[in-house]
Structure 1
Amino acid sequence: MTAPGAEHPVLIVGTERSGSNLLRLILESHSRITVPHPPHFMRYLAPLAGSYGDLTQERNRARAVGDALGLLRRHIHPWPHPIRADRIIAEPAGPGLFGIVAAIYEQHRAATGKARWGCKSTFMVAHVADVLRVFPDARFVWLVRDPCDVASSAKRAVFGPSHPYRMARLWRAQQEKARAALDSWGPGVVHLLRYEDLVSRPEEEIGRLCDFLGEKPEPAMLRHHTSAAARQTAALADAWRRAGQPVSTDRIGAGRQGLSTRERLWVDKVTGPVKQSLGYPVDARAGTVRDPRPSAVALRSVSLRARIEYRSMRKDGNHRARLRRDVYVRWLRFRAWKRGGLRPPVRGPAPAARRGSL
């Protein structure tokens, strides 16, 4: 069942710290597409799905909608338009938890007056099949960046694992999911876009992206940094300050300065074949480096996280909002555990589908 009213949505998938905010703002600048900053509904709620019961039942749906809108109220990047819970509860948009998420995005889209909505939650790479059950014509943009540069950025970011070894493991797992989606549904559904290509040849890559989406490129997409959305994002957090700047290549190769030699080798060892398959060189010495001890990774992660939180407390306008959001997520997990429905998210590959059949 497809949610009414909207044309097929656009979802950015992959790994955070890969330029997804840049791509979000480029797409948001198109006159027909709106991409609000994501509260990561499926990331936080999918592990709790079993606690809601049958979502065709109004009482269960109301509980799930309440939890989702609780996330939205505590979002670290406020949405400009209110979302009405009663409309979602009374008129469910589609099956499962993503049907509720789709209805929330659809209300936002209708409020903006645009034709399509997009979602920047890169974690949706684990939920491609869920999306296609609701929107068979959905389009996915697989945004990928050199994992050394991703790990370098993550060492200073409040989002994701801060230790390069842990970040490398996450990057590999998420690219493998994205590759499985591309293999299952084909390039008509999943479009591979390298961050390095986007910032090196923005006009060309935006043109190719628009062709994939069936849209006409617009000059505003190359001026995304001048938009009100870009200024708002840049002002909220130090990690997002580049949102207010034009496209630049100066962050290509950031891992050469941001990671030590050993850290770069760890990343290459973990990501090796996947990294190479995506066109990134792998250091030949990576196979000789020893994996870090788990205790050393844990201690280093604590140290990095303490520095990150201190910097965020001093520089980020949404620091308190993020802490409130994190407390709320823990409360949701506790309530789900009390109801006996807490389950780990499904990690397996997406089921196969005929290429081009959607």
Structure 2
Amino acid sequence: MQERDASMSTGIAPVFMFGFERSGTTLLTMMVGAHPEIAVPFSVTGLWYRYARQVESGQPALVNGGIEALIDRIVAEERIQLWDTRLSRDDVLAVLAGTTFADVVRAFHLAYAAKCGKPYWANMDIGTLDHMDVPNRWFPDAKFIHIVRDGRDVALSNQTMPYGPGNLSEVAVAWERRLFLNLNMAAMIDPARYLVIRYEDLILRAEATLQQLCAFIGVAYAPAMLTYPDQVDGRVPSEKRWLWPALASAPDASKVGQWKAQMSRTERDLFENLAGTMLERLGYETLGIRRGGLSVHALELCHFLDRGHRLKRFGAKLGIRRLTKLERAARHGG
């Protein structure tokens, strides 16, 4: 497949939204997708980048079968099947304007937008945090919206999940490293094409933050964006809804700064030792003093021993499985 600019003229530039896990990406998806002119499908979690690598490496199963066979394979993907409206090969072909993989990506989003009765589309994928260079190459006029959240609250939220980086040290290291790399990539593109918004602002100053976001995209702000809870049942797959129990409610201020009540001083010190530079770069409150006491080193050692969920996997081999907070809540219906 050839590679060229596939953005074409659709009124606004393609929009790619992303953030670190548990930073408010799904909330942002719901809010932007509630705009009457912008369609945002459920995140495909790196699917486009996985296929791009395969296509660009010339895998025969993807290249030799032609573009229709490629579309058929993508349509059948589980993450595409989770979208709230089903697409067929014909839906995608009807809006396909070229033969590059970027054209295919654009066509899937245009087909989804058409099914939603909307003229514009935006993409949400946490994978863009690490692969922003790819859509930037596909769509030279693309705009990027990076949602960030206090890394300490990110770490607490990740601990409620059955997958992903589990302990505080792993989250701190990954959070600082991945955000550092993305912000450095952002420094290489036109500042008018890259916007950082804070989860905390989206919660505490939702309307003003969404107005800023809409101005960046190039559309008028729509109050309907704050009615997103009414659309949760229709847009979020029922089997995934338990992962975001607060999504069906209005923005909850108690979600901001939870680390202040839920983290011990040792945990705060350890996180700041590992990721304090990024906290400060993003303007978050810090203790300001890097501490390295015995308790901090002991906790870091425990986290090292549990790296990659080692203890959880060991327990599973013994027939012991401890449910996460979200799993327990889902099992008990709340």
TM category, shorter: 0.7 to 0.9
Matched, 1:12 2:21: no
Q: Provide the C-alpha distance between the structure 2 equivalents of 1:26 and 1:90, rounded to a whole number of angstroms.
A: 26
Q: Provide the C-alpha distance between the structure 2 equivalents of 1:234 and 1:249, rounded to a whole number of angstroms.
A: 25
1:169-223 per-position Cα deviation (integer Å, ceiling 9, x unaligned): 2211221133123311133111010111121111111111111111111111122
Structure exhibiting the larger radius of gyration computed from Cα positions? 2
Aligned to 1:69: 75
Segments of structure 1 that go 5 or more residues without pairing to the other structure are 317-358
Aligned to 2:141: 137
Change (3 A) 1:253 1:71: same
Q: Is the 8 A contact 2:165 2:171 kept in 1?
A: yes
Post-superposition offset of 1:110: 2.2
Q: Residue 315 of structure 1 aligns to a residue in which SS?
A: helix
Matched, 1:79 2:84: yes
Change (3 A) 1:295 1:177: same
Aligned to 1:156: 160
Change (3 A) 1:74 1:24: closer
Which range moves more in the overlay, 203-212 or 120-129? 120-129
Matched, 1:21 2:13: no
Q: Is the 8 A contact 1:109 1:116 kept in 2?
A: yes
Change (3 A) 1:267 1:101: farther
1:95-244 to 2 correspondence within 5 Å?
A: 95-96=100-101, 98-226=102-230, 228-229=231-232, 232-233=235-236, 236-244=240-248
Change (3 A) 1:111 1:156: same
Equivalent residue in structure 2 for 1:307, among 315, 318, 322: 322
Q: Which 4+ runs in 1 deviate beyond 6 A?
A: none
Post-superposition offset of 1:92: 6.9
Q: Is the 8 A contact 2:15 2:143 kept in 1?
A: yes
Percent identity among equivalent residues?
A: 22
Segments of structure 2 that go 5 or more residues without pairing to the other structure are none
1:76-97 per-position Cα deviation (integer Å, ceiling 9, x unaligned): x44313231795599574644x
Q: Is the 8 A contact 1:42 1:124 kept in 2?
A: no
Post-superposition offset of 1:20: 1.2
Report the number of matched residues: 314
Q: Provide the C-alpha distance between the structure 2 equivalents of 1:72 and 1:234, rounded to a whole number of angstroms.
A: 12
Instruction: Kindly provide the amino acid, as one letter, of the partner of residue 315 in structure 1.
Output: A
Q: Is the 8 A contact 1:233 1:240 kept in 2?
A: no
Q: Residue 156 of structure 1 aligns to a residue in which SS?
A: coil
Change (3 A) 1:124 1:301: farther
Q: Provide the C-alpha distance between the structure 2 equivalents of 1:36 and 1:26, rounded to a whole number of angstroms.
A: 12
Instruction: Kindly provide the amino acid, as one letter, of the partner of residue 330 in structure 2.
Output: K
Aligned to 2:65: 59
Post-superposition offset of 1:155: 0.5
Q: Provide the C-alpha distance between the structure 2 equivalents of 1:201 and 1:100, rounded to a whole number of angstroms.
A: 36
Instruction: Kindly provide the amino acid, as one letter, of the partner of residue 80 in structure 1.
Output: T
Q: Residue 144 of structure 2 aligns to a residue in which SS?
A: strand
Equivalent residue in structure 2 for 1:251, among 248, 251, 255: 255
Q: Is the 8 A contact 2:146 2:197 kept in 1?
A: yes
Instruction: Kindly provide the amino acid, as one letter, of the partner of residue 227 in structure 2.
Output: R
Q: Is the 8 A contact 2:33 2:39 kept in 1?
A: yes
Q: Which has the higher contact order (CA 8 A, sep 6+)?
A: 1
Which range moves more in the overlay, 260-269 or 248-257? 260-269
